[in-house]
Every structure is written in structure tokens, then in C-alpha cells.
Amino acid sequence: MILVTGATGTVGGEVVRLLAGRGERVLAMTREPAKVEESPGVEVVRGDFDDPASLAGAARGADALFLLSAPGPWAARHDEAMVAAARAEGVRKVVKVSAIGTGEEREGVTVGDWHLAGERALRSGELDWTILRPSSFASNALGWAPQVLRGQPVPNTMGDGRQGVVDPRDVAEVAVTALTSEEHVRAVLTLTGPELLSVPDMAKVLGETLGRTVETVEVPLEVYRESLIAAGVDPGFADIAVDGSRTVARGGNARLTGDVERVLGRAPRTFATWAADHRAAFVSG
């Protein structure tokens, strides 16, 4: 039995589908079970990282755990609570989604450190673990849908900085391989797509998919920070988002690895493939 956290989200939802498709028994965790439909092989369980008793209940009977916490300063607390519950309930293996650059020295920039405590909790214990450190998700481009639908330029806070944009479906497939085999125990896998892309590069690919030009507009980092705070984002969180953009703009995340191909035995999906498969999000009607 495999407990999947973040089961209603982008990566976790795909992990649930892939595991169920392989005939695995899945416990899909959410804070709101009422909003999730049961499907064959999938049992929905209530769990909230802020409610330790609920985590113990969710982990009961599970052999393995897919651990995905929502990004933010609370991720450390959430990961530690979930790992403690997994240990107490006799879970044997944990596959955790972290982020590229976690724990690496980067000129005082704290990007990625939200996942450091969770990684440490796994490394310091006796559980089998696999840590996945993905690069920027292709699905972040869904945030551009409102501008694209209105024919407006999409915001760019990263200049010409390029990243190894990864399809979250590849992250899910690697996670499922690690959850269902003994091959990647105590491995840290850095998951990237096959090519380095800037925001203007991604906009160009998206435009080619849609059959029109998608422009970008540079947003100064102070304006970006103010817009996040105006949208209700915690100032500490906003600072980290701004640091992340600055790091990317300086080329600090221009990195490709072969880990997806090594695990899956095929090349990672391109951003063009992701865009073609998500075209509907960017066209009206």
C-alpha cells in the first residue's frame, strides 16, 4: 500500500494515476476528501500536515510514502511531521519531492531551503529514501493562461536566465519507479528536462503551439515583490520568490542532468510536448 501526499496536485495526481494503472494499492491523501472522487485501487484518506493525528491515521497500513509538501516556509514543519508519522506507523520507504539546488551553496541565496529539513529527516533515519530534486516545472506556464487568453504579454521576472524546465509528468514517473522498485534507494536525483529554456524561449514554443506570437514583458523584481505581497503572499515567502528569480536571471539554475533518462530509459519530455498536451488551457471555448 502506497500513501500519496499532494494527491490532488499536479505531480501527486499523476503519481496516483500511474500507480493505480500498475495495479498498486493507493491511499490518496487530501485535506478535503469530499472533493476527490474514488477510483479503482485508490482509497481517499484525510490528512493535513498541520494535524499530526490525521497523518498517523493516513499512514496506517502503508508500506511506502510519496511525500510532497506545498511550497513555502512551512514545508520543513510539514515534512518533519509526515516523516515522523510514517516512521511511527512502520512505513518502509519514502520518496520525497524536493527542489533543485536544495542545500547547495549559492551566495547567501536561500532558494530551495524549504526542503532541507525534510531531506535531513530522511537521511538521518533508518527508512529507505529517494530524494527527487526537480528543476522548474513546465506547468508553471499555466500561470500565464490569463494573459495568453487576453492576448497580452506574459510576465518575465527572470530575464534571459535559462532553466532545465521539466515536465511534472516525468517527475511523477520517476517517483513511481522509485516507489515500486529497490533501485533508487538512498539516491538524490536531480530531474531536468532535455533543454535549457528562458521565459522568452518558453513563450516562443507556446506561441508555435498556439499558432501565434506570445510576447513577454520584463517585470522588475521590486514590482514582482510588491505584486506578491498585494496578492496576500507572506513577505518572507515573497523575498524567497524574488531571490529565486534573481538566481535564475544570473544563470544560477542553467543546469541539465541525465537523471530522468537514466531512471526511465527514455529522454525527458520537451516543453513543446507539454505545451501541445496543455494547449486547451491557453485557448478560449
Residues that bind ligand NAP (CB under 6 A): 5-12, 30-32, 47-50, 68-71, 97, 99, 134, 136-137, 140
In the complex with ligand NAP, the residue whose CB is nearer, 11 or 197, is 11
Shortest approach of ligand NAP to residue 285 CB, angstroms?
25
Q: Shortest gap between Cβ of 137 and ligand NAP (angstroms)?
A: 4
As a whole number of angstroms, the distance between CA 110 and CA 146 comes to: 30
Q: Which is nearer to ligand NAP, 12 or 193 (CB)?
A: 12
**Min. distance of Cβ 226 from ligand NAP in angstroms?**
22
User: Residue 30 or 177: which CB sits closer to ligand NAP?
Assistant: 30
- State in angstroms the smallest separation of the CB of 15 from ligand NAP: 9
Quick check: 260 and 192 in contact, CB under 8 A? Answer: yes
Concatenated DSSP letters of 16-43: HHHHHHTT--EEEEES-GGGS--BTTEE
Question: Minimum distance between the CB of residue 166 and ligand NAP, rounded to whole angstroms?
Answer: 8
3-state secondary structure of 96: strand
* C-alpha span between 153 and 160 (Å, rounded): 16
- Residue 97 or 131: the one with the smaller Cβ distance to ligand NAP is 97
Query: What does the angle CA 219 – CA 109 – CA 220 come to, to the nearest 5 degrees?
Result: 10
Closest-by-Cβ residue to ligand NAP is 9
Write down the least CB distance from residue 14 to ligand NAP, Å. 8
Cβ distance to ligand NAP smaller for residue 136 or 156: 136
Report how far residue 58's alpha carbon sits from residue 29's, in angstroms, rounded to the nearest whole number: 7
What is the enclosing helix (H) or strand (E) of 225? helix 221-230
Half-sphere exposure of 8 toward its Cβ, with a 13 Å CA cutoff?
16
- In the complex with ligand NAP, the residue whose CB is nearer, 12 or 200, is 12
Q: Are 246 and 219 in contact (CB under 8 A)?
A: no
254-266: b (≥16 Cβ within 10 Å) or e: eebbebbeebeee
Q: Rank residues 30 and 130 by Cβ distance to ligand NAP and give the closer one.
A: 30
**DSSP track, 232-269:** T--HHHHHHHHHHHHHHHTTTT----SHHHHHHSSPPP
Cβ 59 to ligand NAP shortest distance, Å: 12
